[in-house]
Structure 1
Amino acid sequence: MAKNVIITAKTVEEAIEKASEKFGTPKSELQYEVISEAKKGLFGIGSQDAKISVCVSEDPDFLALNFVKTVLADLELTPTEIEVTKTSEKEVVISVTGEGMGLIIGHHGEILESLQYLTNLAANKGVEGYRRYIVDVENYREKRQEALRKLAQKTASRAKRQGRNITLEPMSAYERRAIHAEVQNIEGVTTFSIGSGDNRKVVVSPENQKTQKPRTKSGNQDKKPAKETKPAKAKALDPDIPLTYAGSGVSKQPIVKAKSIEELGLADPDESDIY
C-alpha cells in the first residue's frame, strides 16, 4: 500500500532532499513527481515554493530496507549486496555484505544490535501487527551463534568439573537466549540470569550446587554473637607472703603472669623504697 505526500521547498532539489530525509529513502530511489517549479515573483510578491508529490510505501519491509540503506549512506558505506529474506509471517532477515561493514558490527555486535533495534522501530511505527526484522552483516550472526555454542559447552564442562557457578560477561538478550538454549542440552548443569539492563549476565551452575543463603543487610542473624572474653585480672603479689626461692624451704608465693608490671600492681622501681 502506498500514499502520496506533498513536499514543498524553495527549489525542487531542496524538496527532494527534504523528502529523502523525512522518509529515510535515498534520493536515487525516491519516487516523486514535480507538481510545480519555484517562482521568484516581482519584488518578492507572488513568489511560490517548488512542490513535489512523493509516493511513499507503507509496507513495513520497504520501510525497514530503506532505513538500513539510509544509515549505510549516512556512514558513507556502499554495500555490495542487500538481501531480504522472509523467514516467516512475522520475521524478516536483512543481510548486508560489502567492504568495511565491520564498522556497523561493533564489539560483540553491539552496534549491529542498535541498528536492528532502530530498524524495527522505523518499520513497525503505526503498523498493525508487529513484524521482527533481523539485520545481519557479513554473516556475523551465524559466526557469533557458533562462538556462543562453543562458549556454553566449555563453560558447562568447567562448571561441572569445578563444582561451582561460572558467571559469563554481560550479553544482549539474543546472546543470553543462545547460551540458555545450548546449556539445556547438556546434562548436569543449568543456567539462570542475574543483573539488569546492560549488565545482565548468564550464570552456568552445576545442578547439585547448593544455593548460598543470602545475607541480610544487618549481617548473619542466625549466629549469636560471640561473648567477649575479658582478660583475667592480674593479682598483685601479697606483701605478707614471702617470695619463693629455688631450693629453699620457704613457703611459696603464688606465681602471677601479666603482660606488664603495671598489671601486677607493683610500685614503680624508681619510686620504691626497696633497693
Structure 2
Amino acid sequence: MEDWIRSVEVEAPTVEEAIDRALEQLGRSRDEVEVEVISEPRKKLFGGQPARVRVREKFRSKEEGFRRIVQHIFDLMKIPVPFQLDTSDGDFRILIEPGHDAGMVIGKYGQTADALEHILWKIAKSQFDHKGRVFIEVGGYRERQQEKLRRHIQQSIRYVLDTGRWVALEPLT
C-alpha cells in the first residue's frame, strides 16, 4: 500500500548527491519535490558524517493531494469505496454512491461520516491551507435524514398544538 505522501531520507557525501539519489528513488524531477536538508556533511580526521536530506513529493494540486489522503484513510479503514471529489463550490465534497460498503462510511447514526469529515477537514486545513468545509455525501443519506427529522418535528408541533401537552425531543443534530 502506498502512503498518501511519498518521501525518502538519503545520505550521501554531498547534499547535491543526496538530493539526486532521492530524486532517482522517487522517480521525480527537482520541481516536483520539496527538499529538507537534515544535516550538512562534516569532514573529520577519520572519516566524517555524510549529508542527509529528506525529499518529499509535492502534489500537482491540493485536490490531488486531498484525494490521495482520502483514499489512504479509506484503505487504512479497509473500506473499498470508489469516490469522486467535487471542489466546484470551494468545499471538498466526497461523493460516494450507495452500495460498495458505503454503510461503513456512514456508521451508526452517521457518526463515522461526521468523524471522518472532521478529521479530513483538519488535514485539509493544515496540509493545504483549505478555507472551506469538508462533506461526505453517501447516496443522499444526509438529505434523507434531514427530511426524516423535518417530518418528526412537524409531527411533534402538530401534537403539541392539538393536545396542548409538551413534547421532549432528542438533540437535533
Q: Which range, TM-score by smaller chain? A: 0.5 to 0.7
Counterpart of 2:70 in structure 1 is 68
TM-score (norm 2): 0.61
Distance 1:101 1:34 in 2: 35
Per-residue CA distance 1:146-187 (angstroms, 9 max, x = gap): 212222221221222222432222343xxxxxxxxxxxxxxx
Give the distance between the partners of 2:152 and 2:146, measured in 1 at CA: 10
Give the gaps of 5 or more residues in structure 1: 11-31, 36-44, 173-275
C-alpha displacement of 1:128: 4.7
Q: CA deviation at 1:140?
A: 1.4
Read off the aligned partner of 1:72 and give its amino acid letter.
F
Uncovered stretches (5+) of structure 2, i.e. residues with no partner: 12-25, 30-46
The CA RMSD over aligned residues, in Å, is 3.4
CA offset at residue 74 of structure 1?
Answer: 0.9
Give the structure with the larger helix fraction: 2
1:163 alignment partner in structure 2: 164
- Cα displacement string for residues 193-225 of structure 1 (whole angstroms, at most 9, x for unaligned residues): xxxxxxxxxxxxxxxxxxxxxxxxxxxxxxxxx
Deviation at 1:117, TM superposition (A): 0.6
Question: How many Å separate the matches in 2 of 1:160 and 1:87?
Answer: 43
Residues 64 and 133, structure 1, Cα contact 8 Å, conserved in 2? no
Query: Which letter maps to 1:33?
Result: G
Deviations 1:55-99 (A, max 9, x none): 2228443343323211210122211x312223523x232112342
Question: 2:65 and 2:165 mapped to 1: Cα distance?
Answer: 48
Number of corresponding residues = 135
Partner of 1:95: 95
SS at match of 1:93: strand
Partner of 1:150, secondary structure, is helix
Q: Is the 8 A contact 1:112 1:135 kept in 2?
A: yes
Q: For residues 156 and 69 of structure 1, what CA distance do their matches in structure 2 show?
A: 43
Q: Which has the larger radius of gyration?
A: 1
- Distance in 1 separating the partners of 2:165 and 2:172: 21
Q: Letter of the aligned partner of 2:140 in structure 1?
A: N
Greater relative contact order: 1 or 2 (C-alpha under 8 angstroms, separation 6 or more)?
Answer: 2
Q: Provide the residue aligned with 1:55 in structure 2.
A: 57
